[in-house]
Structure 1
Amino acid sequence: MKIIDKINSHEPSKAFYSFEYFPPKTDEGLTNLYDRLKRMSFLNPLFASFTWGAGGSTIDRTTDMCATAQTLYGFESCMHLTCTNVVRTTIEKALEEAKSAGIQNILALRGDPPRGQEYWTSCDDDFTHAIDLVRFIRKEYGDYFCIGVAGYPEGYPDSDDKNQDLKYLKEKVDAGAEFVITQLFYNVDTFVEWEKECRKIGIKVPIIPGIMPIQGYHSFRRITNLCKMNIPSEILDALEPIKHDDQAVKDYGVSLAVSIISKLFNEHNVRGFHLCTMNLEKSVRLVLEKLKFVPTEEERNLRRRSRRRSSVGFVSNDIIRQEPDGSLPTVKPVIWKEQSEDYLGRSEDWDNFPNGRWGDARSPAFGELDGYGVSLRIPPEQALEYWQRPTTLDELKQVFKSYILGDIPALPWYEEPLFAETEAIRSKLVRLNELGYLTVSSQPAVNGAKSEDPIYGWGPKGGYVYQKAFVEFFVSLENLEKLIKKITGNPWITYYALNRNGDFKTNIKEEAPSAVTWGVFPGKEIVQPTIIEQVSFKAWKDEAYALWTEWEHLYPKNSPTQKLLNDIGNNWWLINLVHHNYVDPEGIWDIFFNDDVNNE
């Protein structure tokens, strides 16, 4: 069914809401997302949208998710579709597969140009803007698809002319778009004024505000910085004293989302809301419960017990009853929407504190999603200013050292300065880069810091947190072989190493996840938000090497800098090394600094 038809038939006085999901990076994550979708189906969203990776990189997974959610779990699916860096045949394939799967809703987006390329041109001259995609869908499929487009209450991130942005939105609607989903925002007044301007210029289609409950402080700051959102000072002030308390941040995120939606619903007559789930479940459910849009867990349990007492015989008889002409009746599939655990018996919040690429790779929320896919997260002119034009290995080492020392605020792998905890190992990382180990990730050992600690703390108050030291870096094959020889037989050291071609080395005989960060809190199970395992390392490897290529794109082909970056990307190895004796903070560094393993 088309989203616009569902909106038009919805009771005008009642709220409706929709969910947004992204394709998980691993097969295990996808399997667990389907369990999550099954549980979230009882929340009865009007529809669910599924994002599309840059350049069509997730075309198969996105279409499969849309079809599965619609067929098995009763969601009305909306498939995101972008035309940036996508050839015409990819768009045609996606639309044809969507139609074949019974998907009638498309969110047509331009997508963002790869931020690692100084000059961007579209792959297909027919598709340079979202309006081209809207026109193409209407031309090829008539009114089969219901088309949605994006709106930007704070203006398009790369545009300085908000009035022109509104005109472009009006053109997309005139070309056939039937609803608008907005970019995320946290200032209600900004949305309200922008919506008024939309109506003034004749945009009459439904406008659905995008709402994202804050799931974690660092992910929130990262997303809002990438999207260039204006965050009200009162929100930043509220987050500052609790930013190390993950549970407190999530609780505040729920309260803030409830406040925003309540104000829009009660004071400004907004009836629809698009919730960005980040593939997590609990915060979204709590928001809807607090708004009284859905029953609470206790109310659902009461209804479930009541139905079980009264409906078993009726369901059984209904299934076997025949129609008067002898045919079997038409019935809807039974979906056990009340299940609160997945097939492994884990609760909805088993992965409630995702930790980027070093979280649990089985989590649907593993990794981080943004609008750009694998690309540099800063504008090319800034990147060139930060990283200059290194032409030798020594000059490249200096770029990495400058980041460690805080002289530049970003590397291709991280667009934000290092965390405060890095101060404890800053001098070690500088020495490591001087020796030719180009570091991209690390953490110091921590043995029982209080969870309120301003540097190492996280999670609820009253607990203690622990960390194993680890370091990840790019290294030449020669130095890798020396390093492996050095650590052979050391029971405290484990490693994974991969090169761009997928050649793999490890000293781990029996594969199992290794928790490198964990916390002990009153009345809770031990929480392990940071896990290093083979599946997550391999998933990250592809992205890590793709960023070398994006860095190359800043420079002319065959220039000395481009050749240097290409050579390292093609020939050096990525290694993650963990020291498991967390009571020995110096143990991990001894293997680098105490003998000739460092000699180049």
Structure 2
Amino acid sequence: MPINNYKGFLRMTGFCKTKIPEEIMAALEPIKDNEEAVKAYGIHLGTEMCKKILATGIKTLHLYTLNMEKSALAILMNLGLIEESKISRPLPWRRPANVFRVKEDVRPIFWANRPKSYISRTTGWDEYPHGRWSNAQNPSYGALTDYQFMRARSRDKKLQEEWAVALNSVEDIYERFKDYCLGKLRSCPWSELDGLQPETKIINEKLGHVNRKGFLTINSQPAVNAEKSDSPSVGWGGPGGYVYQKAYLEFFCSQEKLNTLVEKCKSFPYLTYMAVNKEGNWISNVNQTDVNAVTWGVFPAKEIIQPTVVDPASFMVWKDEAFEIWSRGWAQLYPETDPSRKLLEQVQNSYFLISLVDNDYINGDLFSIFKDI
């Protein structure tokens, strides 16, 4: 089992009454407070141990992941046993190792970058959506708690370094979002993940452009039309199938920019949008009961799988969390009297959160609506 966390390593070895070689403790001691360095060492150590095992003629390795498979996959790639491009996802999102959720195969897109938060807010459900989101029968989400805003020390440090910069105007806020979309920053208050995801990199230049204009993106996906399911960037479900996606964009913007966007949407019949502010004021061209499948896959001998949806009821739940991140995820990185903190709170209280879908996944161009704005 790869070492992923120093305290967890000590706890596990203590529980198992394992004697730790001195050279391992000597290597870990200087880096014990640096989670990324500990993981990197764990991958290195695991790789070297596996090399020695394989060198003896043993042909089988058994790696425990404890639901943290990245280190194990890195070891296997170091050994040349798998290629990164061949690692497939069973679904577009990672299914948790929970016996009660084994059949879960549909989720709202809004928590795509905050899967731990989604799991925590749905942990009390009696049933998890399977087949179609409508089967969920409007389950209630758990309330927001401190848990949704807890961060690992290394992640908190990275956010502090990259996001706790002086903000003199809203344009400085635009710059943070733009730099993240262009891959210049590894962290984002609205994401639990590390850096941009592979499919985001397909459209990151376009994302950077709209962020410069004040449309502050926190979630997105490109349009996909019959891409092979083993595609390294957008594939899921294993080989032999084809996957599809509607272009999706979720962002914050001012009331003025929203008004312009709503007016322009009248000339784009394939675009559907939902917009809401912190107070819950709703603007949309869809009904609040309309559920829109935005990702689906076709596989041999299976029904069509549609694992990601845009659901208005869930959007209204998500908006509370999304707006709260302005203060608890970003503004709190600054001292209480810092002007940057006050600017972020002003944006939090005045901007709208928008979910925008281009339903023409074949010929559509979601980003064209932002031209001339």
TM-score, L = length of structure 2: 0.69
Residue 461 (structure 1) aligns with: 239
Distance in 2, Cα, partners of 1:428 & 1:365: 35
Whether contact under 8 Å (2:289, 2:313) holds in the other structure is: no
- Within the alignment, does 1:556 sit opposite 2:329 as a pair? no
Q: Residue type of the partner of 2:298?
A: V
- Within the alignment, does 1:352 sit opposite 2:105 as a pair? yes
- Within the alignment, does 1:508 sit opposite 2:286 as a pair? yes
- Within the alignment, does 1:246 sit opposite 2:96 as a pair? no
Distance in 1, Cα, partners of 2:83 & 2:273: 36
- Within the alignment, does 1:408 sit opposite 2:191 as a pair? no
Inter-CA distance 569–224: structure 2 relative to 1 (3 Å threshold): farther
**1:566 aligned residue (345, 351, 359):** 345
Matches within 5 A, 1:414-493: 414=191, 415-488=193-266, 490-493=268-271
Inter-CA distance 154–580: structure 2 relative to 1 (3 Å threshold): closer
Residue 368 (structure 2) aligns with: 590
**1:382 aligned residue (126, 150, 158):** 158
Distance in 2, Cα, partners of 1:370 & 1:239: 40
Residue 72 (structure 1) aligns with: none
Matches within 5 A, 1:174-573: 191=12, 194-196=15-17, 224=68, 231=72, 234=75, 240=84, 242-246=86-90, 277=98, 279-281=100-102, 349=103, 351-352=104-105, 357=111, 360=133, 362=136, 372-376=147-151, 379-387=155-163, 388-414=165-191, 415-488=193-266, 490-509=268-287, 511-550=289-328, 551-573=330-352
**2:7 aligned residue (153, 156, 178):** 156
Residues 190-222 of structure 1: CA deviation (Å, up to 9, x unaligned): x45543169xxxxxxxxxxxxxxxxxxxxx999
Whether contact under 8 Å (1:472, 1:574) holds in the other structure is: yes
Any gaps of 5 or more consecutive residues in structure 1?
1-151, 167-190, 199-219, 254-274, 282-348
Q: What SS class does the counterpart of residue 471 from structure 1 fall into?
A: strand
Q: Residue type of the partner of 2:158?
A: Q
Identity across matched positions, percent: 33
Q: Residue type of the partner of 2:160?
A: L
Inter-CA distance 279–504: structure 2 relative to 1 (3 Å threshold): farther
Higher relative CO (CA 8 A, sep ≥ 6), structure 1 or 2?
A: 2
Q: What SS class does the counterpart of residue 333 from structure 2 fall into?
A: coil
Inter-CA distance 193–234: structure 2 relative to 1 (3 Å threshold): farther
Q: What SS class does the counterpart of residue 441 from structure 1 fall into?
A: strand
Q: Residue type of the partner of 1:518?
A: W
Q: What SS class does the counterpart of residue 156 from structure 1 fall into?
A: helix
Residues 542-564 of structure 1: CA deviation (Å, up to 9, x unaligned): 11111111111111113111011
Inter-CA distance 484–376: structure 2 relative to 1 (3 Å threshold): farther
Residues 417-448 of structure 1: CA deviation (Å, up to 9, x unaligned): 11222233222111101111011111111111
Q: Residue type of the partner of 1:382?
A: K
Matches within 5 A, 1:52-63: none
Q: What SS class does the counterpart of residue 246 from structure 1 fall into?
A: coil
Q: What SS class does the counterpart of residue 196 from structure 1 fall into?
A: coil
Inter-CA distance 477–234: structure 2 relative to 1 (3 Å threshold): same
Q: What SS class does the counterpart of residue 552 from structure 1 fall into?
A: helix
Q: Residue type of the partner of 1:156?
A: K
Matches within 5 A, 1:99-114: none
Distance in 1, Cα, partners of 2:342 & 2:332: 11
TM-score, L = length of structure 1: 0.44
Whether contact under 8 Å (1:279, 1:365) holds in the other structure is: no
Whether contact under 8 Å (1:486, 1:591) holds in the other structure is: yes
Whether contact under 8 Å (1:355, 1:366) holds in the other structure is: no
Inter-CA distance 533–278: structure 2 relative to 1 (3 Å threshold): farther
Any gaps of 5 or more consecutive residues in structure 2?
20-63, 113-128
What is the Cα deviation at residue 391 of structure 1? 2.5
Distance in 2, Cα, partners of 1:448 & 1:384: 41
Whether contact under 8 Å (2:295, 2:307) holds in the other structure is: yes
What is the Cα deviation at residue 408 of structure 1? 0.8
Residue 21 (structure 1) aligns with: none
- Within the alignment, does 1:579 sit opposite 2:351 as a pair? no
Whether contact under 8 Å (2:65, 2:72) holds in the other structure is: no
Inter-CA distance 372–428: structure 2 relative to 1 (3 Å threshold): same
Inter-CA distance 373–510: structure 2 relative to 1 (3 Å threshold): closer
What is the Cα deviation at residue 522 of structure 1? 0.7
Distance in 1, Cα, partners of 2:67 & 2:346: 32
Distance in 1, Cα, partners of 2:360 & 2:325: 32
Residue 115 (structure 1) aligns with: none
**Please, which moves more after superposition, 567-576 or 232-241?**
232-241
Q: Residue type of the partner of 2:358?
A: H
Inter-CA distance 222–555: structure 2 relative to 1 (3 Å threshold): farther
Distance in 2, Cα, partners of 1:449 & 1:506: 31
Q: What SS class does the counterpart of residue 249 from structure 2 fall into?
A: strand
Q: What SS class does the counterpart of residue 548 from structure 1 fall into?
A: helix
Q: What SS class does the counterpart of residue 179 from structure 2 fall into?
A: helix
Q: Residue type of the partner of 1:374?
A: F
